Amino acid sequence: MTQLKYWLALNRTPYIGPVSFRSILEVVDSPQDVFDNINAITKQVNLNARSLAYIKNPDWDAIDEELAWADSPKNHIITINDSRYPRLLSEIHDAPPLLYVHGNADILNRPQLAIVGSRNPSPSGKDCAFQFAKYISEQNIIITSGLALGIDYESHRGALAAQDASGKQAKSKTIAIIGTGLNRVYPARHRQIAHDIVDAGGTLISEYPLDTPAKKENFPKRNRIISGMSMGVLVVEAAQQSGSLITARCAGEQGREVFAIPGSIHNPLVKGCHSLIRQGAKLVEKAEHILEELPHMRPLQLKTDTDDVIDTNEHQLSSECLDILNHLGFEPTPIDTVVQRSGLTPEAVSSMLLVLELQDYVVSLPGGTYSRVK
Percent of the chain with pLDDT over 70: 93
pLDDT at 297: 55
Residue of 171, 369, 182 lying closest to 266 (CA atoms) = 369
Instruction: Average the pLDDT over 4-22 and give the result.
Output: 95
For 372, how many CA atoms within 13 A lie in the half-sphere containing its CB? Answer: 14
What SS3 string covers the chain? CHHHHHHHHHHHCCCCCHHHHHHHHCCCCCHHHHHHCHHHHHCCCCCCHHHHHHHHCCCHHHHHHHHHHHCCCCEEEEECCCCCCCHHHHCCCCCCCEEEEEECHHHCCCCEEEEECCCCCCHHHHHHHHHHHHHHHCCCCEEEECCCCCHHHHHHHHHHCCECCCCCECCCCEEEECCCCCCCCCCHHHHHHHHHHHHCCCEEEECCCCCCCCCCCHHHHHHHHHHHCCCEEEECCCCCCCCHHHHHHHHHHCCCEEEECCCCCCCHHHHHHHHHHHCCCEECCCHHHHHCCCHHHCCCCCCCCCCCCCCHHHHHCCHHHHHHHHCCCCCCEEHHHHHHHHCCCHHHHHHHHHHHHHCCCEEEECCCEEEECC
Instruction: Average the pLDDT over 26-37 and give the result.
Output: 90
Instruction: Average the pLDDT over 258-266 and give the result.
Output: 89
Instruction: Average the pLDDT over 348-364 and give the result.
Output: 85
Relative orientation angle of helices 346-358 and 319-326, to the nearest 10 degrees: 90
pLDDT at 1: 62
Domain ranges, ordered by start, for the chain: 1-62, 106-297, 312-372
**Rounded Cα gap, residues 288 and 306, in angstroms:** 9
Residue 3: pLDDT over 60: yes
Q: What CATH architecture does domain 312-372 belong to? A: Orthogonal Bundle (1.10)
Q: Which of 29-43, 112-126, 175-189 has the lowest mean pLDDT?
A: 29-43
**Rounded Cα gap, residues 93 and 47, in angstroms:** 20
Residue 246: pLDDT over 70: yes
Contact between residue 294 and residue 231 where contact means Cβ atoms under 8 Å apart: yes
Contact between residue 362 and residue 331 where contact means Cβ atoms under 8 Å apart: no
Q: Quick one: pLDDT band at residue 258, thresholds 50, 70, 90?
A: very high
According to DSSP, the β-strands at 369-372 and 333-334 are antiparallel
Residue 164: pLDDT over 80: no
Residue of 102, 106, 80, 110 lying closest to 18 (CA atoms) = 80
End-to-end alpha-carbon separation of the chain, Å? 54
Contact between residue 287 and residue 132 where contact means Cβ atoms under 8 Å apart: yes
145: β partners: 176
Per-chain mean pLDDT for the chain? 89
Instruction: Average the pLDDT over 55-71 and give the result.
Output: 96
**Structure pTM?**
0.82
pLDDT at 106: 94
pLDDT at 252: 94
**Rounded Cα gap, residues 347 and 343, in angstroms:** 12
pLDDT at 304: 40
The pLDDT tens digits of the residues spanning 284-340 come to 988 889 988 876 554 433 334 444 433 434 557 788 888 888 888 777 888 888 888
Q: What CATH architecture does domain 106-297 belong to? A: 3-Layer(aba) Sandwich (3.40)
